[in-house]
A = this chain, B = another copy of it.
Amino acid sequence: MAPTASPPSRRHHHRPADKRQAILDSAVRLIAHSGLHNTPMSALARDAGVAAGTLYLYFPSKEAMINALYLELLEERGRATAVAPSIVATGKPREGFEMFWHRLARWHLDHPEKANLIHQCQASSILTDETRAIEQRMHAEGLANFDDAVARGTFRKISVQVFWALVAGPIFVLAQMRDTGEIEITDALLDATFDGVCRSVVA
């Protein structure tokens, strides 16, 4: 059944290769295309090039797999949007913010399938309480510098929640419009949006 070229087998043993990652990659692609609940484990296994049973060597259940995948995507997005502390620390917090926003927007637009999966997970009721708790912790970390920035007068005096809503909300809507084919994302459109976002939160 081995279809395409097999990877240049890991020397020493055939280890639990990056099979796990292959499974997750397939999950992202298929679920973004067919939906969380129209993607059977069998299809997932076929696409990843493993047997159905193999999935259960890496994840205890479909639900657990989705939850793990969700958290890994959040982490990946967090890494992709992290701004070096050096930039924040220097007197250019405004630039740090622009960097962050553009990275967040870019991530959602460059990885439509991953962004879509995050969206599906949030809407469906598949995420466990534990996952939600971990997510909130990550979110809190990511916005740790916010209070400092407000204190320095970088941002207007608003709560973190309002800040996040004003900053991230527009990105999510743009991403969704793009998914439905309603719009094409251009640099001009992004810049215009960022301009609006700045007016709403920057002091």
Contact = CB atoms under 8 A, between A and B. Distances in A.
Contacts of A132: 180
Given A165-B173, A169-B169, A169-B173, A158 B123 contact: no
Contacts of A166: 170, 193, 196-197, 200
A125 B165 contact: no
A161 interface: yes
A124 interface: yes
Nearest to A37: B37
Interface residues of A, number: 44
Given A165-B174, A166-B170, A169-B170, A159 B126 contact: no
Copies per assembly:
2
Given A161-B182, A170-B166, A193-B162, A125 B35 contact: yes
Contact of A124 (B36, B183, B201): B36
A164 interface: yes
Residue among A124, A126, A196 having the largest count of chain B Cβ atoms under 10 Å:
A196
A192 B36 CA distance: 36
A153 to B, nearest CB: 16
A91 to B, nearest CB: 24
A172 interface: yes
Interface in A38-96: 38
A177 B143 CA distance: 15
Contact of A196 (B34, B123, B174, B200): B200
A152 interface: no
Interface in A110-168: 116, 119-120, 122-126, 132, 136, 156, 158-159, 161-162, 164-166, 168
- In order of increasing CB-CB distance, the 6 nearest A-B pairs are A169-B169, A35-B125, A196-B200, A123-B123, A37-B37, A165-B170
Interface of A: 33-38, 116, 119-120, 122-126, 132, 136, 156, 158-159, 161-162, 164-166, 168-174, 176-177, 180, 182-183, 189, 192-193, 196-197, 199-201
